[in-house]
Amino acid sequence: MFPGGGMSMEEMLAIAREAEEVGFDSLYCVEAWRSSFVPLAALARETKRVRLGSYVLNAYGHSPFITGMSAIDLDELSHGRLLLAVGSGNRHINEDYQGIPHERPLRKMREYVELLRAVFHAHAGEEIVYEGEVHRMRWQPAIEPVRADIPIYVAGIYARMVRVAARVGDGLALGALLSPQYIRDVIRPIARSAAEDAGKDPDSLGYLMAGFVALDDDRERARPGGRVARRRA
């Protein structure tokens, strides 16, 4: 996972090439100190096998229209390797960083993912018409997607957003500071129940989570590195 800070783009690409060579499964770009789609496009050109994902794209900063088109482009560029993780962020990110009101996040994320699905499934020349409470779209794409099933994961750590994620998404993008016990005992039961209520197979849900790792031959020397990473997150 590339947070984007303190590292040049060339350094990111070098690490990505090495990660793929030694067997890593996937690479993700955080939308924080860098954008998400631009580094992912660069990674798509430098790699051939690993899955590439946003972790997590801010839904308030990107309209479903722009996100949908960008995801289709990136999926084509990467030959079908994209996983799109999206989230509502929080008041700090939306109001302080972007000057955007943090309003109706639950309804917004439900409609956002529904619209992305419509964009991903639409064939060239097919009109998309959507009228929601937060989002609306009337558009006719001219590009045929590489695939209609680009996986969409929704960020959520609290019960109501976890339910939204499980109902409309393919999986959940979880916070880096959650404990395995919280995921097992709180998040998974809520997500499974919501998926069943939506008529989905709860076993089909995926779960993504970042972990902090500090490498050193000396265990005590490694501990401060992990604490610094957690504070920065």
SS3 annotation, 152-191 = EEEECCCHHHHHHHHHHCCEEEECCCCCHHHHHHHHHHHH
CB atoms within 10 A of CB 149: 11
Residue of 28, 32, 24, 31 whose CA lies nearest to 12: 28
Q: What is the pLDDT of residues 121-162, one digit of tens each?
A: 999 999 999 999 999 999 999 999 999 899 999 999 999 999
Question: Per-residue pLDDT averaged across 203-216, rounded?
Answer: 86
Question: Per-residue pLDDT averaged across 102-106, rounded?
Answer: 96
Q: What is the pLDDT of residues 5-48, one digit of tens each?
A: 888 999 999 999 999 999 999 999 999 899 999 999 999 999 99
Of all residues in the chain, what percent carry a pLDDT higher than 90? Answer: 82
For the chain, give the mean pLDDT.
Answer: 93
What pLDDT is attached to residue 28? 96
Burial of 46 (0-12, 13-18, 19+ CB in 10 A): middle
What pLDDT is attached to residue 233? 46
Query: In order of start, what are the domains of the chain with their CATH numbers?
Result: 9-232 (3.20.20.30)
Question: Per-residue pLDDT averaged across 47-51, rounded?
Answer: 98
Positions of E strands within the chain? 26-29, 51-58, 82-87, 128-131, 136-139, 152-155, 171-174, 206-209
Q: Global pTM?
A: 0.92
